[in-house]
Amino acid sequence: MDPVQIFLAMAFVVSAYLLWFSQLSGRLTGPKVWPLVGSVPYVFMNRHRFHDWIASNLRRTGGTATYQTCTIALPFFAYKQGFYTVTCHPKNIEHILRTRFDNYPKGPQWQAAFHDLLGQGIFNSDGETWLMQRKTAALEFTTRTLRQAMNRWDPETLSPDLPENPFAIAFDSATEATLQRLMYPGLLWRLKKVFNIGTEWKLQKSLQVVENYITGALNARKENPSDDLLSRFMNKKDSNGNVLADNVLKRIALNFVLAGRDTSSVALSWFFWLVMNHPEIESKIVNEISTVLRQTRGDDPAAWLENPLSFDEADKLVYLKAALAETLRLYPSVPEDFKYVVNDDVLPDGTPVPAGSTVTYSIYSVGRMKTIWGEDCLEFRPERWLIEVGPEGEFKFETPKEGYKFVAFNAGPRTCLGKDLAYLQMKSVASAVLLRYRLAPVPGHRVEQKMSLTLFMKNGLKVFLKPRELKAGAGGVGVHANGAKVAMCA
Ligand code: HEM
Q: Is 467 left (phi over 0), alpha (psi -120 to 50) or beta?
A: beta
Task: Say yes or no: CB of residue 42 within 6 Å of ligand 1.
Answer: no
Global pTM?
Answer: 0.91
Q: For residues 399 and 325, is the Cβ–Cβ distance under 8 A?
A: yes
pLDDT tens string 385-405: 999 888 777 889 998 888 799
Task: Say yes or no: CB of residue 318 within 6 Å of ligand 1.
Answer: no
Task: Say yes or no: CB of residue 261 within 6 Å of ligand 1.
Answer: no
Residue 489 is labelled as binding a ligand: no
Task: Give me ligand 1 centre to Cα 406, in Å.
Answer: 14
Cα separations in angstroms, 335 against 218, 220, 409 = 31, 34, 10
Task: Say yes or no: CB of residue 110 within 6 Å of ligand 1.
Answer: no
Task: Say yes or no: CB of residue 124 within 6 Å of ligand 1.
Answer: no
pLDDT of residue 487: 53
**Which of 142, 258, 416, 455 has most ligand 1 atoms within 8 Å of its beta carbon, as the pocket-test mutant?**
416
pLDDT of residue 478: 41
Task: Give me ligand 1 centre to Cα 419, in Å.
Answer: 7
Cα–Cα distance for residue pair 111/317, rounded to 1 Å: 39
Task: Say yes or no: CB of residue 259 within 6 Å of ligand 1.
Answer: yes
Q: Which protein residue has the closest C-alpha to ligand 1 atom 40?
A: 414
| Nearest Cα residue to 353 out of 112, 87, 99, 62 | 87
Q: For residues 205 and 117, is the Cβ–Cβ distance under 8 A?
A: no
Segments of 163-297 assigned E as strands: none
Task: Say yes or no: CB of residue 252 within 6 Å of ligand 1.
Answer: no
Query: What residues of the chain score a pLDDT lower than 50?
Result: 474-484, 490
Q: Which protein residue has the closest C-alpha to ligand 1 atom 43?
A: 416
Q: Which protein residue has the closest C-alpha to ligand 1 atom 42?
A: 418
Q: Which protein residue has the closest C-alpha to ligand 1 atom 17?
A: 416
| Nearest Cα residue to 84 out of 128, 146, 31, 20 | 31
At CA 81, angle to CA 79 and CA 86, rounded to 5? 75
pLDDT of residue 76: 87
Task: Give me ligand 1 centre to Cα 409, in Å.
Answer: 6
Q: For residues 80 and 89, is the Cβ–Cβ distance under 8 A?
A: no
